[in-house]
Amino acid sequence: MTVSHNVDSRARNGCEKFTLVLKKHFDLGLNVACTLDLWMDTVKKNSYMSITIHYIDEMFNLYARTLHVKPIEEASHTAEMVLEEFSKGLAVFKVMADMYQQIIVVSDSGSNCCGANTIPSAFYWLACFDHKLATVLIIVVNKTTKMENGVKSKPFYRYKDVQHMLSLFMLIDACKKLVEYCKCANLQSQLSKTHKQENATRWNSLLRYLLSIEEMYDELVPLLQMKDKLSKLNDISGHSSRN
């Protein structure tokens, strides 16, 4: 109970202080940007909405603050619900409808975020470029399967016959195999401390394979040579030169 009360007290105090910061910002006629996202956890199937706010002060220092990671009780993520919950989240910090014209909202392009009677009806809205890029890459890069005589095929690239795409897919596969080998052989633990910190998450992201390997190329060469696995890096270099 002591810990719970302390956390609640700190949260209220933080909210009150930040409310004053936002009021001053809006009173000066300055704009802010907000991002929102919705997701459902894979265990209990609970839904959540995250809301962040981004702004600069008079010295052009950029600030990014997480306002909420709030549970969403309604199972259906309708456009009306998204707008209502987002507005309620802002209202906690005394950001009301008369300030909406100073807010730019960035979200994915889901119909419940950009359709009729939702965010664009009350705020200036921009589509998140990262979401668009991820959608394209997931559709193009991810392998798919098909049913043949009731049997599921092996995963294959849907667009492998498009000009230059096969070389790209071969490069991605080669990178994935190298990353898998490095993780299994625990080679990432032998990289420099700086690289381990900067690239801690990159090993688990398809979109960052190439960047990780390029940055750590000089360190990977001797490690792979010691294990007589330099061909794994040569495969990547070969596909890169063809692209």
Give the torsion sign (CA, 5, 10, 15, 20): positive
Instruction: Write the pLDDT tens digit of every residue in 142-201.
Output: 778 888 888 888 887 777 666 667 777 777 777 777 777 777 777 766 665 444 444 444
Structure confidence at residue 172 (pLDDT)? 74
| Tokens of residue 191, six digits | 């990289």
Q: Of 39-43, 62-66, 135-139, 226-230, where does mean pLDDT reach its minimum?
A: 135-139
Asked whether the whole model's pTM tops 0.75, one would answer: no
Q: What is the dihedral of CA 117, 122, 123, 126, to 10 degrees?
A: 10
CB atoms within 10 A of CB 187: 20
Report domain extents, the chain.
2-130, 147-242
| Tokens of residue 9, six digits | 């007290």
